[in-house]
Amino acid sequence: MIRKLSLLFAGALMGASAMGLVYGSVGPAASAADTDTYRQLAIFGDIFERVRAQYVTPPDEKELVESAINGMLGSLDPHSSYLTPDAAQDMRVQTKGEFGGLGIEVTMEDELVKVVAPIDDTPAARAGILAGDMIEKIDGEEVRGMTLSDAVDKMRGLVNTPIDLTVLREGNDEPLEITIIRDIIEVVAVKHRVEEDVGYLRVTSFTEKTGADLRKAIEEIREEVGEDDLKGYVLDLRLNPGGLLDQAVNVSDAFLDQGEIVSTRGREAGDIARFGSKPGDLTDGKPLVVLINGGSASASEIVAGALQDHRRATILGTKSFGKGSVQTIIPLGENGALRLTTALYYTPSGVSIQGTGIVPDIEIEQPLPEDMQSADLSRGESDLPGHIRGEGESEEGSGSIAYVPQDPEEDVQLKYALELLRGETTNAAFPPSPDKAVMNQ
């Protein structure tokens, strides 16, 4: 099996990084189907033939089969699905960090397209699209009755062409009419800046470019500030839905000298893969604060969990999304691909955060602006219908508000992190004590 993993959100993604994938195969079928299974398949074949021959209008047979397949996979969990040839190709393109679209991650809910999150500095984000928005109409056409794939196809188009979205937003009495100009989405995997004597690193997605971009950003910060004057780093993983697992390992490894970063465990007892760090901390052990919230999922949680377990960083913010499952992308030749949940991933201490999320060492909630007070911006894996229930999942579940203000002056989580690194405020959780690292024995 090719060990190229990423970590995927619910539903199809448009202009988005993915979260939880293995490219390859999962081996032979567990066992031959028994007689009862063949009988059920015969019933399916009989119904298909009757629909094809007797339905009041001739149905699209290809759509019938695709709907049946997705119905079967959708009954498993929110992340397993069938990818058409076009969708499979789109996913391969997206992981490279450059693609066409609006810059939103979407899923389907109550027959509407639901925005999981807008990607930073994209047409959708600049137009004011928010996580939780429900797209009711696309260019005046009702979304109800469309498949997610149909809706995504309709939202795609030529660069510099407009698209009109009718959006339902909790807290607004009337639908919002938002026009977005399509563009090529080039995701900058790592954005950075200097906050006086602190290096700020924002990882927006885990694409093939992330590890190299992070290394370059750290080098530029060190050159600008100077090693002696640099107080430390803030690693911002808020609103980061995930991406390639090997890049999550690279990002974790940048701050670690040794030890396990993450493990994945499949159906069989021996189906375990472990990913570890190599010697060499790119920051020379400088203090590190990691920011997370309800929009931090999958690959982001791998990084936060590894740095937390090794006591390399203090995790600050609110509980993460809680997506701890791995999807295998199984190519089907000219017929597209199968995205199937095949494993769960575990932090170095042996804890699965599926349905629970990463709990920050220091909980700091980000206040919502007055005009967003009534909006439900809380996100969590445990809220997804049909999700795999995590080993440690409780009624409290996972996730929290997925919101980051665009103005750093209004960002209370970032401000607290900077105060910690500068010694302007103190907290028992900072700096973390390496001798209290929690490792799996």
- Which residue among 323, 352, 361, 398 is the active-site one? 323
Q: Is-contact 321 297, C-beta < 8 A?
A: yes
For residue 378, give the 3-state DSSP assignment.
strand
323 is catalytic: yes
Helices and strands, counts by H and E, the chain: 9, 23
Q: Where are the alpha helices (DSSP H) in 102-228?
A: 123-127, 148-155, 210-225
- Which residue among 17, 263, 298, 320 is the active-site one? 298
At position 427, the amino acid (one-letter code) is N
309 is catalytic: yes
How many residues belong to the chain? 441
* Rounded Cα gap, residues 363 and 294, in angstroms: 12
Find all residues with CB under 8 Å of 290, minimum gap 6, and list them: 234, 235, 236, 237, 303, 304, 307, 308, 313, 314, 315, 316
137 is catalytic: no
Token match 């199937």: residue?
340
* Rounded Cα gap, residues 102 and 274, in angstroms: 36
| Cα dihedral across residues 103, 108, 113, 117: positive or negative | negative
E strand map for 43-182? 81-83, 98-101, 104-109, 112-118, 134-138, 141-142, 162-168, 176-181
- Which residue among 309, 320, 325, 400 is the active-site one? 309
Find all residues with CB under 8 Å of 257, minimum gap 6, and list them: 277, 279, 280, 281
Q: Is-contact 66 336, C-beta < 8 A?
A: no
Residue 53, H or E segment: helix 35-54
Interior CA angle at 72 toward 206 and 27, to 5°? 65
Q: Is-contact 198 389, C-beta < 8 A?
A: no
- Residues known to be catalytic: 298, 309, 323
